[in-house]
Each structure stands twice: as C-alpha cells, then as structure tokens.
C-alpha cells in the first residue's frame, strides 16, 4: 500500500527530530483531510475539534514548520491576508477561485523562467525564486453562475 500524505509528513517530522504532539497532529490532520485554502484562524478552529486546548501560537509555529518542510505553501490573497494550501508538486503555482476558494496547483512552466531573464537583466535583480498566483473563478462556480 502506498504511503499517504499524512504518514509521509509524520515520518519526515520524526526523522528531522520533531515531536508529534497532539496539538501538532491536529494541525497536520486539517491539511491531510481537507483541500483548498485555510487562513490561520480557520486552521485553529478546525484543529480545535480534535484538540480543544490547541493554542493559536502552536498553530502559527506548526504552519511555519510545515511550510519550511515544503508541505504547505503560503498564498497571498488579494485582501492582503495570507492563507495556506497543501503543496503536492515540487514547484507549483496556484489558481485560486474567488468564489469557493478552491486552490488548484499547476507545475512551474519553463516559459515563465524565460520571461524572468529579461526582467532580471532590465532591473538588475538576481531572481532567486518566484511564485505565481492567479485568481479567477473555477469551472464549478462558473457553472453555478450560468444556471
């Protein structure tokens, strides 16, 4: 049986020397069991169902750890807030539905790297990384609009 996402995260956290406390596991379970974007406060509320004593500081720390280990990515929303989404690709970009907040990850495109070279040359920047987030309406929400 192939290793699932949750088991892989647990195995890698243990291998890196991190303790798997009940509060930390509650946060991990939110992302193992759900899709889409979650703001920190939403993660806190969802994880508190499993661990009522979970503090907001623990949520912030766990989200930061999971982001550093590459299991989550921070998504910058249009309103200036941040949310987190699962990462399933080594380097992906995101399509974000404005209506239902569904997140679809798609692979980094080679054409994008070609576009960055002239920008780096023109501005003098050494571009080390990039992030692409596209906002729009998913097919399901478009279908609802048309009915």
Give 134-137's long-range contacts (Cβ < 8 A, gap of 24+).
Answer: 134/93, 134/94, 134/95, 134/96, 135/78, 135/96, 135/98, 136/95, 136/96, 136/97, 136/98, 137/97, 137/98, 137/99
Q: What are the tens digits of pLDDT across the range 51-65?
A: 999 999 999 999 999
Q: Which CATH class is domain 89-147?
A: alpha beta
Round the average pLDDT of the chain to a whole number and report it. Answer: 84
Phi, psi of 15 (to 5 degrees): -60, -30
Which CATH code is given to the segment(s) 1-88? 1.10.10.10
| 3-20: average pLDDT | 88
Spell out the domain ranges in the chain. Answer: 1-88, 89-147
Give the residue-averaged pLDDT of 72-89. Answer: 77
pTM: 0.68
């Amino acid at each position: 049986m192939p290793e699932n996402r949750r088991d892989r995260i647990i195995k890698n956290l243990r291998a890196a020397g991190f303790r798997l406390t009940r509060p930390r596991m509650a946060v991990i379970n939110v992302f193992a069991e759900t899709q889409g974007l979650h703001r920190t406060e939403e993660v806190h509320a969802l994880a508190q169902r499993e661990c009522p004593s979970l503090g907001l500081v623990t949520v912030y720390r766990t989200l930061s750890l999971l982001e550093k280990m590459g299991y989550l990515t921070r998504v910058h929303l249009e309103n200036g807030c941040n949310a987190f989404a699962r990462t399933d690709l080594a380097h992906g970009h995101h399509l974000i539905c404005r209506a239902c907040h569904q997140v679809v990850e798609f692979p980094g495109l080679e054409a994008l790297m070609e576009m960055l070279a002239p920008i780096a040359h023109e501005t003098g920047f050494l571009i080390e990384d990039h992030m692409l987030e596209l906002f729009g309406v998913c097919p399901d929400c478009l279908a609802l609009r048309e009915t």
